[in-house]
Structure 1
Amino acid sequence: MSSEPDVSVVIPTCNRPELAVRAVRSALGQTHQNLEVIVVVDGPDEATVTALDAVGDPRLSVIVLPERGKAPNARNTGARAARGRWTAMLDDDDEWLPTKIERQLELAAAATVESPVIACRMISRTPRADTIMPRRLPEPGEPISEYLLVRRGLFYGDGFVQTSCIMAPTALWQKVPFTVGLRRAQELDWTLRAMREPGTALLYVEEPLVLWHQDENRERISLENPWREQLEWLRGNRELFTPRAYAAFTLSVLSSMAAPTRDTKLFRELLAEAREHGDPAAVDYLTHMQIWALPPSVRHRLRDVVVSRGKKNNAG
């Protein structure tokens, strides 16, 4: 094994020592061994530092930030410290399957662009079901914003990217950092901005290599609903979206954040936003209406049933 790692793994964490150790062990247990794992502890956290010290692997290093700055800042700190040519992000509540890095490096070696961003499929695990996302891969020439946001049915997951699935050149992470202060859509924001850089392309390993734990009984950033903040972000980054993708984001992602308010004025406001600045299709209108008509718990159960049935039909 080389004295210098060829892959750096960055794991941000805060006050979740058991989860952090689980994530670290999944990274250290990769079949590709020539890597380093950098855990960035987001503010003083003695319990997490003690738990990580007990791992006892020289490939693990820990950076403790003096104060809490949230996950994007912690990821940027880790990327700046990375020594590998490649850096892969791993959220502390997720796990990697053992061949994740090996398979991504194989795809990177075959890439024809200078700075490939290598993603993979993942297993989304909820208390009700396991589903594989994304359900489809990008088509040749498909705008990246449309691949990630435009639905072919009423439920998300057709096109998808998640932080723990992404490996990219370290130089790209350093040139295009995460947006500090953005609470939701962090990987979407990063991917859309990174794909504007010369020589980049988003490539996918076809098999699922990440286990995404969507535990619904604990606090998760993805359960926060800062819809107004996200609307301002969307308006300020309109150039990252095609009109079709702009409408899809407004009537799906923003709609799901705003719907718990049950404020019919917001329902109409988002509809007007999509029409004025985007190009909504019938599926976007249907998505918007079902999000506001059905409680989240009902939508989640319905999605699990529909997606699972689709998987069974494809298998047959």
Structure 2
Amino acid sequence: MTELRIQADPRPLILVTVGTDHHPFDRLIDWIDAYAEQHPGIRVLVQHGATRAPSIAEGIAFLEREWLDSAMRRATAVVTHGGPATITEVRRHGRLPISVARDPELGEHVDDHQLRFVARLDEAGMIRSCASSQQLWATLDKALKQPDDFVLGETEGERPDVVRRAGSLIDLLVTAERGPVDRPLPPPAEHTEMPDVTVVVPTRDRPELLRRTLRAIAVQDYPGRIVTLVVYDHDEPDHSLAEDGGDRPVRVVTNTHSPGLAGARNTGVLAAETDLVAFCDDDDTWLPSKLRRQVEVLLAEPETEIVCCGIRVAYEATEADRILERTTITFADLLRSRLTELHPSTFVIRRDAMVHGCGTVSEEIPGSYGEDYELLLRLARRAAIRNVPEVGVRVLWHPRSHFTGRWQTISTALRWLLTEYPEFRLVRAGYARVAGQIAFAEAAAGRRRAALAWAAATLRARPREPRAYLALAVACGVSPNAVLRALHLRGKGV
């Protein structure tokens, strides 16, 4: 009957939902009652949960899922508390949420995470936040006069909802002061049988470095079988590298996907016949125990889909260890920081997590720049990334690196990343980091006006972001290569 009343009533509908939290939210009920009294021609329906029922608006403690869905689709405006799940549902039904966050100082919640979460979403344009009765009433008036402004566009309704993805940030917002949650790795254990692993090695015009990489894979102290797939991209394959038989076979194949690093990786992943797949770039070398320790973690934790490890950065005559002491990394952590220690040559992944899970390496990223980071973001949405805090790979930084000097490709790819992951707007440090990288790339490419615009955007998000100042220095004539060399000598990059 409620379903029929919702659909049949011709009056504009304002739906208010306060969720199921046991804390009272009388403040919002009072604001809504006052609005309903002044607008008798508007139907105001309140799902009030454990809070007292409204005296003027219609009230129902709990709405069954199908009725709530129908009301959201029918409503001209939907008012919510600041809970991520409720906001997600409203956006999923194509409505821009009007949110009033619960305030712990008024006894409406246990902490202030709703206040901070709603503030971030409002800043990102994902909701309309109201902190006073006057602000709420004015927003409702606008929704009734200009309802199209509170309906999400067709593109937003069809793609995976931004707020559903952003909901994973709630842990970051709540626990920021306490620091990230970590958990220890399982202790090393003896296994009578270790699974086969396929190592995908994309390569292009680096035969000497490639042979060194293959030798390091062959001498792993891993007791299981390691199949190496050398994927040639934009290069004539060297079939003399192929080795048959034994527990360290090498196969040589040609990239059958889109040209570039992403297509080459996918060629190898899809050709693999093992449950576990590892990546190694053709200019990097594995340390002997690298693979064994990571696979031990995967065997002990069936829910884990990817394990990384630390790196040793080699540049000119210097070497610097980059070890992430964390053992557990979340999606929110990766939005906040790239965590360079999680290098693609350290990845050991369950193949099924990519092929039948989050998808293979993105071939849409311009020039394949940052494809490893984007893959980490998608994997981290599914399950936490695990990391062995030990150096397992020697990573070579050198002038023949594929992206050296490709500043326009780098800028375009990073702008693609910000478009594809609007959640960056919820994490100022993460947004500033990427925007600062774009500013630096634009400056290095000689596009001074674009560099200044991106540097300004960086500083608005985070005034202390050093990449903005590096970009400004390059825009004023400092050599980008000199800046990069100074950073690389310290084992760092832009």
Which of 147, 153, 168 aligns to 2:349? It is 168
CA-atom RMSD in angstroms: 3.2
Q: Cα gap change, 1:283/1:138 in structure 2, threshold over 3 Å: closer, same or farther? A: farther
CA distance in 1, matches of 2:271, 2:389: 30
Which of 77, 100, 104 aligns to 2:294? It is 104
Offset, 1:167: 0.8
In terms of Rg, which structure is larger? 2
Which of 249, 255, 260 aligns to 1:59? It is 249
Partners of 1:138 and 1:159 within 8 A in 2: no
Q: Cα gap change, 1:8/1:124 in structure 2, threshold over 3 Å: closer, same or farther? A: same
- Structure 1 gaps, min length 5: 150-157, 309-316
Q: Cα gap change, 1:248/1:136 in structure 2, threshold over 3 Å: closer, same or farther? A: farther
Q: Cα gap change, 1:223/1:22 in structure 2, threshold over 3 Å: closer, same or farther? A: farther
Q: Cα gap change, 1:295/1:119 in structure 2, threshold over 3 Å: closer, same or farther? A: same
Aligned counterpart, 1:152: none
Q: Is 1:120 aligned to residue 300 of structure 2?
A: no
TM-score (norm 1): 0.79
CA distance in 2, matches of 1:145, 1:137: 12
Partners of 2:203 and 2:232 within 8 A in 1: yes
- CA offset digits 1:34-53 (Å, max 9, x no partner): 2211111225614x223x13
Which of 451, 457, 461 aligns to 1:267? It is 451
CA distance in 2, matches of 1:115, 1:140: 11
Write the mapping of 1:191-230 to structure 2, written as runs, cut at 5 A: 191-197=376-382, 200-216=383-399, 218-221=400-403, 223-225=405-407, 226-230=409-413
Aligned counterpart, 2:239: 49
Offset, 1:32: 0.6
CA distance in 2, matches of 1:29, 1:238: 40
Q: Is 1:40 aligned to residue 231 of structure 2?
A: yes
Q: Is 1:130 aligned to residue 319 of structure 2?
A: yes
Write the mapping of 1:1-316 to structure 2, written as runs, cut at 5 A: 6-34=196-224, 35-43=226-234, 45-46=236-237, 48-50=238-240, 52-53=241-242, 59-65=249-255, 69-111=259-301, 114-134=303-323, 136-137=325-326, 143-149=332-338, 159-174=340-355, 175=357, 176-182=359-365, 183=367, 184-197=369-382, 200-216=383-399, 218-221=400-403, 223-225=405-407, 226-241=409-424, 242-244=426-428, 245-251=430-436, 253-274=437-458, 280-284=461-465, 286-293=466-473, 294-303=478-487
Offset, 1:5: 5.0
Offset, 1:177: 0.8
Partners of 2:314 and 2:320 within 8 A in 1: yes
Identity %: 22
Partners of 2:230 and 2:253 within 8 A in 1: yes
Amino acid at match of 1:265: R
Q: Cα gap change, 1:271/1:141 in structure 2, threshold over 3 Å: closer, same or farther? A: same
- CA offset digits 1:224-270 (Å, max 9, x no partner): 2224412431232123534321222111x223322213443123321
Q: Cα gap change, 1:222/1:163 in structure 2, threshold over 3 Å: closer, same or farther? A: farther
CA distance in 1, matches of 2:271, 2:253: 9
Aligned counterpart, 2:72: none
Q: Cα gap change, 1:141/1:164 in structure 2, threshold over 3 Å: closer, same or farther? A: closer
Name the SS for the 2:461 alignment partner.
coil
Partners of 2:277 and 2:351 within 8 A in 1: yes
Q: Cα gap change, 1:137/1:295 in structure 2, threshold over 3 Å: closer, same or farther? A: farther
CA distance in 1, matches of 2:378, 2:330: 17
Name the SS for the 2:205 alignment partner.
coil
Aligned counterpart, 1:155: none
Name the SS for the 1:235 alignment partner.
helix
Q: What is the count of residue pairs matched by the alignment?
A: 289
